[in-house]
Structure 1
Amino acid sequence: MDQSVPPGRVRGICIPPCSKSYAQRALAASLLAEGTSRLHNIEFCDDTRSAIRCIEALGARVRRTGERTLEIDGGLSPAGDKLYVGQSGLSTRLFTPIASLCDTPIGVVGEGPLLHRSFRTMIRTLRALGVRVHDRNDHLPLHIQGPIRGGEVQVEGLVSSQFITGLLLALPIAEEETTIHVPHVISTPYIDITIDTAERFGIEILHKDYKEFYVAGGQRYRPAEFEIESDWSAAAFLLVAGAVAGEVTIRNLSVLSRQADTAVMTALVRAGASVIDEGDTITVAHRPLQAFSFDATQCPGLFPALAALAASAEGTSVIKGTSRLENKEGNRAESIREEYAKLGIEVDLDEEDTMKIRGGRIRGGHVHSHDDHRIAMSLAVAALNADTPVVIENPACVAKSFPDFFERLESLRTAE
């Protein structure tokens, strides 16, 4: 069913969902820890459910002991020969290396847009580490058989932090120590999240400027009590809503977080929004917005939120890092260009690795989410400043990361 988002003002207080980046990593670490771990403040978006299915398929026993609490008995022991990752790129890149610790054959199966993503770098690196991999021209489904042995490996090309995350969480259990050379790693804040999570489960991972990682083999994960922090990726859309259409206060959100999308604060300030930081409470309010420049190479998930911000700013905003979007939910940069054009906003992708957005009058109309949760949320926030309602096709895709996004946005509306 389509979602109609009328223009209007917003004002209110909101608590964002938990970080799925932290949640998925903590679930993986809980699988690898012999004993019982407890995860608190976890929310059940599609990506988190995908990770739960993965750890159960690989041997974990998961119990829900509260509305947002899981108790997990760890232990890597595959229950079958299939690993279903749904539409989650992170689950694929995270749990394929972990499944490669096993000496039994396992099929990695996905669905939807994920089937069109290339996993070439992951496949080649796993083979170099002794894993047998059968693939479909670098795409899912994959058939793998370990055990991954460790050693020394060079990972070529621009490397997703998601795949490095999978290696860094799996390799401490390998028999051999491992040195990973990564000339062109990207999204280093997400690697910081991985290392932080591993440390909290008793694992040591060393690196030299994110270009060389050293992982001792034969380590043991310890069970942990783990509180999942709030999600900056989700909060970014609500903060931008405040900047373009009123005032929004977000609670339980730390600016000291390792999450990459804390960088949205910089973009909001550059655009001229009022930003008040009170520790774990942030308030963003509308002021006349001007065009801004921003490098999103290390935080590519921010592009859709920044597009909504730029559409309501006067002038042409310049956002660097579009090369990071080519293998995300299709081609996210092209999706942004196509859908914002329907709203009368010009998005220029002609310059290499750059998105230019000319802000101005936002028209209402029909748009499509491209089955991309962030595109759907971006268009909904932009709709707050449109001259007539914006109707979004396939809005249900927000369930991937923020299932009640539209309800939260509606709760912030003020009476005209």
Structure 2
Amino acid sequence: MAIKITPHQLSGGIAVPPSKSMAHRAIICASLAQGRSVITNIEYSKDIEATIGAMKSLGTMIFEHEDYLEIDGTTTFMKNQCEINCFESGSTLRFMVPIALVCENNLHFTGEGRLGKRPMQVYYDIFDQQGISYLYRENVLDLYVRGRMHGGEFHLPGDVSSQFISGLLFALPLMDEDSRIVMTSPVQSKGYIDLTLQMLDMFGIQIENHDYQEFMIKGGQRYQPCDYRVEADFSQAAFYLVAGALNNQVCLQDLNNESYQGDKVVVDLLCQMGCQYTETTSGMCMQSNGLKAISIDGSQCPDIIPVMALACALSSGTSYIHHIGRLRIKECDRLKATVEVINQLGGQAIEMEDAMEITGVEKLQGGQVSSYHDHRMAMMEAIASTVCLEPVIIDDEQCVEKSYPRFWEDFQQLGGVFDECKLGE
């Protein structure tokens, strides 16, 4: 089965879903704190359920309510042996590995989809240096780890994933020893590190950030309980902001324009393309009388590149999006997939090793495309349907549950028109 979307303009107001990135971090910090914390504005996407399940596997008491969590960090959260299913969440996997090794532990990490294909060598190198035993299978997440991690000096590349850095920043304050993380290459996705440092500070953990070149971490620190409301997600807001840039009439509620989220740059990028970002009684709106081409460095905002590429596909001139090689190791090869989808819908895009070139067209045609089982691709394709001449057919529309379970409900509320169909119809 697939979903067939009939082109229709979107209009209305929408409450932006809570930030998945902030929710991951809040759940982890609250679980490591000595006391009870309440985390509100929770949406139970599959990725967030993975992190909740991981912390429960380590022994944390988490009470799930309709849209908030009570987390009791007063119990001993470490177990001597546990199974952690990360499903398809790269954040859960890379955050949990060092956290679970704060104490002597015997761990088994499992997952689904392409998660086993995503790089883990950064941690394997640390295991080798510290004498931690591990066993894994290629291309499948079936990782066994046995031992305990110690503080000290860590040399990490900054261009693989910021999740490795964040994982260590969560765990190292709990070590007996002081630690130092030294970056061996420029850090990409700095915004995600900022979110980690912000959340750590809220829960009483202090880290010295020396211009993202090194991080100094005092050992023997203790997390303090904290109540926190998860702010709205600019990664998800980006889809609707681009929709506004493409002449849909969508207003977004609950956005924090002072947010540390790196994907907030979507606002600046669209304004550079000729849009106006305004506040109304219904929320924040993005409006445009026509888009112009742009050059985008995607190294700090990889998650918004598919939908920004859509905006470029409807702009006047030729846009260039570069430093996006890391898109190839997401839920799918998003660089390749984005180019394929734009071309299949009637746009003009060229794939390069670390970049894409997009020449704008006035209108997209529509047609059948694949979601690549990737939530961000499916949502980008849904927004694309609003500027197509013919219906857009997408397979595996349920993949949006990874980050935004109510996406189709919200899309329909805004005027999106779709029906289930069989592939090939």
TM over 0.5: yes
Sort the Cα spacing of 1:280 and 1:187 in 2 relative to 1 into closer, same or farther, 3 A. Answer: farther
Q: Does 1:24 align with 2:24?
A: yes
Q: Aligned partners of 2:213 and 2:282: how far apart in 1?
A: 32
Number of aligned positions between the proteins? 413
Alignment check: 8 A CA contact 1:135 1:141 kept:
yes
- 1:291 aligned to 290, 293, 312, which one? 293
What whole-Å deviation, never above 9, does each CA across 1:287-332 have from its counterpart, x for those lacking one?
2222222212101111111022112222221112221212111311
Q: Aligned partners of 1:100 and 1:138: how far apart in 2?
A: 23
Matches within 5 A, 1:191-206: 191-206=193-208
The residue type equivalent to 1:51 in the other structure is T
The residue number in structure 1 matching 2:124 is: 123
Deviant stretches of 4+, over 4 Å: 277-280
The SS at the match of 1:83 is: strand
What whole-Å deviation, never above 9, does each CA across 1:204-237 have from its counterpart, x for those lacking one?
1111111101111111111111111010000100
The residue number in structure 2 matching 1:261 is: 263
What whole-Å deviation, never above 9, does each CA across 1:26-58 have from its counterpart, x for those lacking one?
111112112211101111111111111101001
Q: Does 1:68 align with 2:73?
A: no
Alignment check: 8 A CA contact 2:135 2:145 kept:
yes
The residue type equivalent to 1:377 in the other structure is M
Matches within 5 A, 1:101-250: 101-137=102-138, 140-156=141-157, 158-184=159-185, 185-250=187-252
The residue number in structure 2 matching 1:45 is: 45
- Deviation, 1:141, is 1.6
The residue number in structure 1 matching 2:8 is: 8
Q: Which stretch of the first structure deviates more once superposed, 162-171 or 271-280?
A: 271-280
The SS at the match of 2:315 is: coil
Q: Which stretch of the first structure deviates more once superposed, 244-253 or 190-199?
A: 244-253
The residue type equivalent to 2:27 in the other structure is L
Alignment check: 8 A CA contact 2:332 2:373 kept:
no
- Deviation, 1:97, is 1.0
Sort the Cα spacing of 1:22 and 1:129 in 2 relative to 1 into closer, same or farther, 3 A. Answer: farther
Alignment check: 8 A CA contact 2:30 2:71 kept:
yes
Q: Which stretch of the first structure deviates more once superposed, 316-325 or 119-128?
A: 119-128
The SS at the match of 2:108 is: strand
The SS at the match of 2:365 is: coil
- TM (normalized to structure 2)? 0.93
Q: Which stretch of the first structure deviates more once superposed, 107-116 or 15-24?
A: 107-116
The residue number in structure 2 matching 1:82 is: 83
Residue identity over aligned pairs, in percent, reads 36
- Deviation, 1:347, is 1.6
Q: Aligned partners of 1:215 and 1:128: how far apart in 2?
A: 19
The SS at the match of 1:105 is: strand
- 1:384 aligned to 383, 386, 398, which one? 386
Matches within 5 A, 1:349-368: 349-350=351-352, 352-360=353-361, 361-368=363-370
Q: Aligned partners of 2:158 and 2:127: how far apart in 1?
A: 15
- Deviation, 1:393, is 0.5
Q: Aligned partners of 1:13 and 1:276: how far apart in 2?
A: 14
Sort the Cα spacing of 1:194 and 1:373 in 2 relative to 1 into closer, same or farther, 3 A. Answer: same
- Deviation, 1:259, is 0.4
Q: Aligned partners of 1:221 and 1:157: how far apart in 2?
A: 26
- Deviation, 1:137, is 4.5
- Deviation, 1:79, is 7.8
- TM (normalized to structure 1)? 0.95
The residue number in structure 1 matching 2:93 is: 92
The SS at the match of 1:335 is: helix
The SS at the match of 2:86 is: strand
Q: Aligned partners of 2:128 and 2:67: how far apart in 1?
A: 38
Alignment check: 8 A CA contact 1:13 1:250 kept:
yes
**Unmatched segments (≥5 aa) in structure 2:** 418-425
Q: Aligned partners of 1:114 and 1:11: how far apart in 2?
A: 36
Sort the Cα spacing of 1:230 and 1:124 in 2 relative to 1 into closer, same or farther, 3 A. Answer: same
Q: Aligned partners of 2:279 and 2:224: how far apart in 1?
A: 36
- Deviation, 1:414, is 8.3
Q: Does 1:54 align with 2:49?
A: no
Q: Aligned partners of 1:27 and 1:160: how far apart in 2?
A: 20
The residue number in structure 1 matching 2:402 is: 400
Q: Aligned partners of 2:109 and 2:347: how far apart in 1?
A: 40
Q: Aligned partners of 1:315 and 1:292: how far apart in 2?
A: 8
The SS at the match of 2:114 is: helix
The SS at the match of 1:330 is: coil
Q: Aligned partners of 1:127 and 1:170: how far apart in 2?
A: 18
Q: Aligned partners of 2:273 and 2:3: how far apart in 1?
A: 28
Q: What RMSD, in angstroms, separates the aligned Cα atoms of the two structures?
A: 1.9
- 1:334 aligned to 327, 336, 350, which one? 336
- 2:275 aligned to 268, 273, 276, which one? 273
The residue number in structure 1 matching 2:423 is: none
The SS at the match of 1:170 is: helix
Q: Aligned partners of 2:317 and 2:348: how far apart in 1?
A: 11
Q: Does 1:311 align with 2:313?
A: yes
